[in-house]
Copies of this chain bind each other. A is one copy, B any other.
């Protein structure tokens, strides 16, 4: 049985709750706009991670659903706003909200998803003092995501981004939400203080590995499986780990070729292919792949804070999936 089948019950429960949560508001256009991307797909990794963590601690995964849905809403709100900033026109195989409707509607729909997340979070069945902590930590995570997104955008104009800068950026932009997913799952399940802190670190490391693998896929995936052109990060000028590595290593003609394509929306398919070859040759793609695997390995070791169970094993499988997935 593959992972998707094993997770299907949980994904279905999240999708049902998400559908109910998004059935809100009186303004038809806005109702459509907020449902558009959340209902177009998505792996529901964050809510599922929270649920399995809670199951592994106390078998109370069901209780985590409102919290998990809140995280999914937050993830989707950031997608809507990021797509405006990055001028992306497709997402999950459909038009982005600012393209299908207009930019004002996309900004607004993002804000409404964000607000709806905190409404949903407030219904989580936990002790009120735990809820207060969750609100504070989720809100801080969203603030960090904004900071990470700002770094990501600002890095696009710079050639002096260090690996440290890059790691900080993805920690904020991506890992913080995985971190609070695992931590929050442990909090709702009333884990020990140690379990909560260790699962927080597990989520952070997992998120780091996830993002590095995501960047790796942009260059190395099978285009048909990925659902978007390979190398779009190159054309968008994104400072991925591989770009940072290549910028530090490349010299001479290869560097010229590389810089010509980086951030160049008009770079041809052949030019992008050539650049990927250059990055392969200088070791950038292998370097990134290895670092993603290392993060996953380190995160898996932390799972020893959990008692033995099928749920713990499942978290191990999810960790592997994060850095072996094809899309």
In the complex the two chains form, is B154's CB within 8 Å of A112's CB? no
In the complex the two chains form, is A149's CB within 8 Å of B108's CB? yes
A7 touches B (CB below 8 Å): no
Q: How near does chain B come to A3, taking the closest CB pair, in angstroms?
A: 32
A27 touches B (CB below 8 Å): yes
Chain B, residue nearest A26 (CB): B147
In the complex the two chains form, is B143's CB within 8 Å of A29's CB? no
Q: How near does chain B come to A89, taking the closest CB pair, in angstroms?
A: 16
Question: Which of B78, B117, B143, B153 is A119 in contact with, Cβ under 8 Å?
Answer: B143
Residues of B contacting A132 in the complex (Cβ-Cβ under 8 angstroms) = 122, 128, 131-132
Q: How near does chain B come to A81, taking the closest CB pair, in angstroms?
A: 5
In the complex the two chains form, is A154's CB within 8 Å of B29's CB? yes
Q: How near does chain B come to A114, taking the closest CB pair, in angstroms?
A: 6
Contact A136:B123 (CB < 8 A) given known A81-B107, A108-B81, A118-B118: yes
Q: How far is the CA of A122 from the CA of B141 in the complex (A)?
A: 14
Query: Which range contains the number of A residues in contact with the other chain?
Result: 35 or more
A159 touches B (CB below 8 Å): no
In the complex the two chains form, is B128's CB within 8 Å of A143's CB? no
| Chain A residues touching B, majority SS | helix
In the complex the two chains form, is A29's CB within 8 Å of B122's CB? no
For A24, A26, A115, A121, the residue with the greatest tally of chain B CB atoms inside 10 Å of its CB is A115
Chain B, residue nearest A70 (CB): B139
In the complex the two chains form, is B150's CB within 8 Å of A136's CB? no
Residues of B contacting A127 in the complex (Cβ-Cβ under 8 angstroms) = 128
A252 touches B (CB below 8 Å): no
Chain B, residue nearest A141 (CB): B115
Residues of B contacting A121 in the complex (Cβ-Cβ under 8 angstroms) = 135, 139
In the complex the two chains form, is B115's CB within 8 Å of A143's CB? yes
Residues of B contacting A135 in the complex (Cβ-Cβ under 8 angstroms) = 118, 121-122, 131, 135
Interface 0/1 of A1-31, CB less than 8 Å to B:
0000000000000000000000011110110
Contact A119:B107 (CB < 8 A) given known A128-B128, A147-B27: no
Residues of B contacting A301 in the complex (Cβ-Cβ under 8 angstroms) = none
**Extra A-B contacts (9), CB below 8 Å, given A85-B103, A85-B108:** A81-B108, A81-B111, A108-B149, A114-B114, A115-B139, A118-B118, A118-B136, A119-B143, A123-B136
> Top 4 closest A-B pairs, CB basis?
A128-B128, A118-B139, A122-B136, A115-B142
Sample of 19 A–B contacts (CB below 8 Å)? A29-B154, A30-B147, A30-B150, A84-B104, A85-B107, A105-B153, A109-B146, A110-B111, A112-B143, A115-B146, A117-B139, A118-B136, A118-B139, A119-B136, A119-B139, A128-B131, A128-B132, A131-B135, A132-B132
